Amino acid sequence: MAGPVLSVSGLTKRFRKFEALVGVNLSVEPGTVFSLLGQNGAGKTTLIKVLLGILKPSEGTARVLGYPVGSVQARRKIGYLPEDHRFPEYHTGPSLLEFYGGLQGIPRHERRKRIGFWLDRVGLGGRESVRIRGYSKGMKQRIGLAQALIHDPDLVFLDEPTDGVDPVGRREIRDLMLDLKRMGKTLFLNSHLLGEVELVSDRVAILNKGKMVREGSLTELTGGRPSWIFGFAKDPTTFRKTLMTLGVPNTYLDSNQASPFHQWEVFPKSEQVLGELVKLAGEDPGGLRFLHPRRESLEDVYLDSLGKKEAAST
C-alpha cells in the first residue's frame, strides 16, 4: 500500500483523570518491523488496544492500513498475538486453527491447506493430536502465532512473541518474523527482550509514562555517541599526553583479570582526528594491542531514555 501502515498523531487516552497516553505520534512504513519498548505501565498495551480498535482515543487521530482504527476493513487485515492469551484447552492445534480460520471467513478447503502450512512453520508439525491442555508455554506461543497468521494479514501485532520459548524456539520465531518481513508483512512488536529487538527491528520507539520519549532506526538511536576503544599492553604515556594536547574527550577503562590491557574509550571529533590518534597509538611504546569501534547498545539507549542508565551502572 502507498503511505504508512500505521499513522498516529497527537494520540491521548484518558481513564478519568489518569492519562495513559499523552500526545503520541508515530508512523510505521510497510514491510518493516517496528518495536515498542517501555516499562510495565508505560502505556504500551493501551496504545496497542487503541490501534486495534478495542479502546477509543480521548484525543488525536490514528489510521491503520489507510482506514480509521476499529474499522471492519482494517480489522480484516490485522493479526494479533496477545501477551497473555487463553485458548480453549480442549482444542488441538488443527481444530483451533479451523475455528479461527472459520471466524475469518476463510473457505474450508483453503483453511485445510493453511492449517498444515502454519503448524509446520511454527514448529508444531507432527503434534496435531495433542490437545492444548498438554502444551508447554512455548507451544502455546507457537499456536498463538499460527492463529495470528492463518488469515494472511498485512499487519501483525506481536505482544511478547518469544515469552516462555526456549533459545532454539526464539531463534525460529525470529527467523519467522524476518520471513514475514520479506513477504511484505508489517510487524508491530512489543518485547522486553532488548537483544531480540535489536536483531529484527527496523525502527524502535520508547514509551515512558504515556509519552513517546525516543523513536528512530537502530542506527539513529545507537549511533549518536561514536567512540573507539584503544587497548595497550602497558601504560601509553605518549598517547595519553596526545589526548590532553588535542583536547579529545576520553575515559580510562579499568583493567581487570578478564582484560588486563590498559584501555581508553576515546571520542574523536572527526575522522581526521581519529586517523591521527590511530597513527600515534601505533607508535606508542605502550604497545597497541587492539582498536575497535563502540556504540551504545539498545539497552543503554533504553535506560538513558528512562533516566535509569546512571543508576544501573552504580
Average pLDDT of span 20-27? 94
Give the C-alpha separation, 48 to 46, whole Å.
Answer: 5
The answer, as to whether pTM is greater than 0.85, is: no
Q: Give the pLDDT band (50/70/90) at residue 308.
A: low
**β strands within the chain, DSSP E:** 6-15, 18-28, 33-37, 59-64, 67-68, 78-81, 155-159, 186-190, 203-208, 211-217, 227-232, 250-253, 262-266, 288-294
Average pLDDT of span 204-216? 93
Q: Is 198 helix (H, G, I), strand (E, B) or coil?
A: helix
Q: Give the pLDDT band (50/70/90) at residue 270.
A: confident
Average pLDDT of span 193-198? 84
pLDDT of the residue at 311: 41
Q: Nearest-5° angle of CA 268, CA 273, CA 274?
A: 65
Would strands 155-159 and 78-81 be described as parallel, antiparallel, or unpaired?
parallel
Give the C-alpha separation, 2 to 19, whole Å.
Answer: 33
Give the C-alpha separation, 154 to 256, whole Å.
Answer: 51
pLDDT of the residue at 262: 87
Q: Give the pLDDT band (50/70/90) at residue 245.
A: confident
pLDDT of the residue at 314: 33
Give 255 or 107, the one with higher predicted confidence. Answer: 107
- How far is residue 143 from each of residues 54, 135, 156, 196, measured CA to CA in Å? 23, 9, 15, 20
pLDDT of the residue at 237: 87
- How far is residue 188 from each of residues 6, 23, 137, measured CA to CA in Å? 10, 19, 22
CB neighbours of residue 32 within 10 Å: 17
Joined grid coordinates for residue 294: 563502540
Host H or E run for residue 300: helix 298-305
Fold of 6-217: Rossmann fold (3.40.50)
Does residue 225 register a pLDDT over 60? no
The type of residue at 42 is A
Does residue 285 register a pLDDT over 70? yes
The CATH number of the domain covering residues in 227-294: 3.30.70.260
Crossing angle, helix 237-246 and helix 271-283, to 10 degrees? 160
pLDDT of the residue at 154: 95
* % of the chain with per-residue pLDDT over 70: 94
**Per-domain residue ranges of the chain:** 6-217, 227-294
CB neighbours of residue 103 within 10 Å: 11
Q: Tens digit of pLDDT for each residue in 143-152?
A: 999 999 999 9
If you ran DSSP here, which 8-state letter would residue 204 be given? E
Q: Tens digit of pLDDT for each residue in 41-70?
A: 889 989 999 999 999 999 999 999 999 998
Closest CA to 174 of 154, 155, 193: 193
